[in-house]
Structure 1
Amino acid sequence: MNLDSRQCEALLAVIDSGSFEQAAALLRLTSSAVSQRVRALEIQLGSPLLVRSRPCRPTHAGQRLLQHLRRVQLLEQDLQADFSGEQAELLSIAVAVNADSLSSWLLPAVAEFLRSEQVLLDVSLDDQDHTHALLEAGLALGCVSTELHAMRGCSAEYLGIMRYRCVGSPAYRQQWFARGMQRAAAQKAPVVVFNRKDKLQAGYLKQHFGIVEHSYPCHYIPASDPFMHAIALGMGWGMVPELMLHRLPAHLPPGSLVDLAPDRPMDSSLYWHSWKVQSPRLQKLSQTLIAAARTMLIQADAATEEKT
């Protein structure tokens, strides 16, 4: 089956921009022309490829095609650079990561590689339990996820353990947990949650106190620095990566966050998912990220030794 490159380009533009109108502006075409190209591709493949909503999103068949088109796009760009004999052009690679990884270890892990290999990151942020869905949807070529199993055609490489600490401000601890973090107080004490996909705090309360989700008061603060700032201001307690506690932002002086339960950390195992058939630069990105993560995150053996 031969796919028309202009039709595939139109589909990618609609997904990336979210609408036929924006895609038309990007491609310097009319909305009607973009629609006709996408429709012709759907007719050829015999299946709807887009849900025509706002924003437009791919159907299941569209996701499968997107996965293919993204990989082909990268392979072609790297191949052209090899044959031209010139310095590789800037290449954009879409990845899906969780906010805590992005705010702590990921950028230092890949920054030098990005500079030397002329790679641009196109990052989609989502909870670590949901980033894998973006890879499945064809919206990312790699993802940091808690998902252990790789989907068909992909590999899943263990990165390490992100350790979280249950923290609050000194004043908050005195108000709510002066005698330690106990169940009765934990049911009433306000909690700071990143967003409604964030299950860390809920999992912690369920595991240690048997408290069910939505039975305690919550603030929702969906940005990493404001999330930590809210905790430091005494608005509530929250789960913060140990890595981030070692490098507090300048506006949070030492001592502004205290561990409310030093003997009860929470560990989250992370994996790097990517396609087995990759462009050379995506393969190098994967190798760089995996190697760096394994030096920056806790490894399973070390975690086991620390708990025993």
Structure 2
Amino acid sequence: MSTFDPDALECLAAIVEEGGFERAAQRLSITQSAVSQRLRALEAQVGTVLIVRSRPLKPTAAGQLMIKHAKMMRLLRADLDKDLKELAPSSAGQSREDERISVAINADSIATWALPALDPLAQGGLPIEIITDDQEVTHEWLREGQVLGCVTSLGQALRGCKMESLGGMDYVLVSSASFAREHCPKGINEHNFHHFPYVAFNRKDQLQHLFVTQAFGLPRVVLRQRFVPSSEGQVRAVKAGWGVSVLPELQVRERLERGELVNLVPRHALRVALYWHCWNLSSDVLDTLSRALREAAGRALHPPAVKGP
């Protein structure tokens, strides 16, 4: 089995993570020519192209495997650094910024319960990188080897990974108090739901449609949507009267209690089950990360559903 140059592997990962050769060179503090040389040498050793020179740059299937290998090497080095700090604090160096430990977490979890779980790890020096996306697609980052773990709504384990249930997050349909008074003083129902614009996270966000179909027993709906790719931004847009939105109850609870926002369908909440997927590896850092997320989810989310026999 071939031994690959760690610097070349990091170079490949940096090109993809930074989106280009120039920015990868800046991050690694080397010349752009050196980046190209390391990539060519690695491609020659592997025997195939690792990056498609397109806009944006994309790793090939072989490139994804090599990036995953690079991230595994990062994890091993993070484990070693952690052990050295425990055994001989003076011998452990600072973690390198370019050796990031990457995880994908859905935006709503970041805005509510997930960040406090990671505070001790970040404060302890772990160079963590959080990639955000919709909860229905964060697992694609893991599938492609771009991250070592993800919080997702996918309840089926990926190949080579382990999975555990974190719990359920409730979503409610809300608007500002002034919007509700003017446009829907009696709330939203199956007859008027289509009259209002819905503030969604992005075009991949299906929560608005899922809530309406479940709440009113409809097979399919067409909604007018406005897109704000930020959980906090969605709340701000709703408060400003952009329309209505399906948002985490955790995130809007205090605003509902203060009367700033109004629950437009109080009889219904959409519960989304969340899962933690990560590489099936023996790693102290990965175990610590998993435990931190599991414990934080246990405090904030509804308990996982118990499956029958």
| Residues 140-184 of structure 1: per-residue CA shift (max 9 Å, x gap) | 111100111121221111000010011112332233333442233
Contact 2:6 2:70 in 1 (8 A): no
In the other structure, the counterpart of 2:294 is 290
In the alignment, what sits opposite 1:149?
A: 156
The answer to whether the 8 Å contact 1:97/1:126 transfers is yes
Match of 1:204 among 198, 211, 227: 211
Count of aligned positions:
297
Q: Which residue of 1 aligns with 2:105?
A: 97
> Could you tell which deviates more after superposition, 24-33 or 121-130?
24-33
Provide the rounded CA distance (Å) in 1 between the counterparts of 2:128 and 2:27: 20
The one-letter code of the counterpart of 2:158 is M
The one-letter code of the counterpart of 1:114 is A
Structure 1 length as normaliser, TM-score?
0.87
Cα deviation for residue 123 of structure 1 reads: 0.9
1:123 counterpart letter in structure 2 = I
- C-alpha displacement of 1:34: 1.9
Give 2:118's aligned amino acid.
Answer: V
Alignment partner for residue 114 of structure 2, among 95, 101, 106?
A: 106
- TM-score for both structures, normalised by structure 2: 0.87
The CA deviation at 1:253 is: 8.6
Cα RMSD (Å): 2.3
- Does the aligned pair in 1 maintain the 2:166–2:301 contact within 8 Å? yes
One-letter code aligned to 2:32: S
The 3-state SS of whatever aligns with 1:149 is coil
2:104 maps to 1:86: no
Distance in 2 of aligned mates of 1:2 and 1:27: 21
Letter in 2 for 1:57: K
Which residue matches 2:39?
38
User: Per-residue CA shift, 1:29-58, capped at 9, x if unaligned?
Assistant: 433332232122223222321121233221
User: Which of 137-146 and 28-37 deviates more?
Assistant: 28-37
Identical counterparts, % of pairs:
38
Structure 1 equivalent of residue 234 of structure 2: 227
Partner of 1:25: 26
* Residue 301 (structure 1) shift: 5.1
In structure 2, distance between residues paired with 1:83 and 1:242: 42
The 2-side partners of 1:114 and 1:278 are apart by 21
Matched residues in 2 for 1:108 and 1:29: separation?
A: 35
Q: Summarize deviations over 1:199-221 as a string: whole Å, max 9, x none.
A: 100112233343745x3322212
Whole-angstrom CA distance in 2 between matches of 1:110 and 1:29 = 31
- Tell me which residue corresponds to 1:15: 16
d(CA) in 2 for partners of 1:3, 1:183? 60
Matched ranges for 1:229-244 at <5 A: 229-244=236-251
Residue 191 to residue 286, structure 1, CA distance change in 2 (3 Å): same
Identify unmatched segments of 5+ residues in structure 2. none
Write the mapping of 1:31-180 to structure 2, written as runs, cut at 5 A.
31-83=32-84, 85-86=88-89, 89-90=94-95, 92-115=100-123, 117-180=124-187
Partner of 1:3: 4
Q: How far apart, CA to CA, are the structure 1 residues paired with 2:108 and 2:81? A: 36
Given that 2:175 and 2:244 are in contact with CA atoms closer than 8 Å, whether structure 1 keeps it comes out as yes
Aligned to 2:275: 271
Residue ranges of structure 1 left out of the alignment (5+ in a row): 303-308
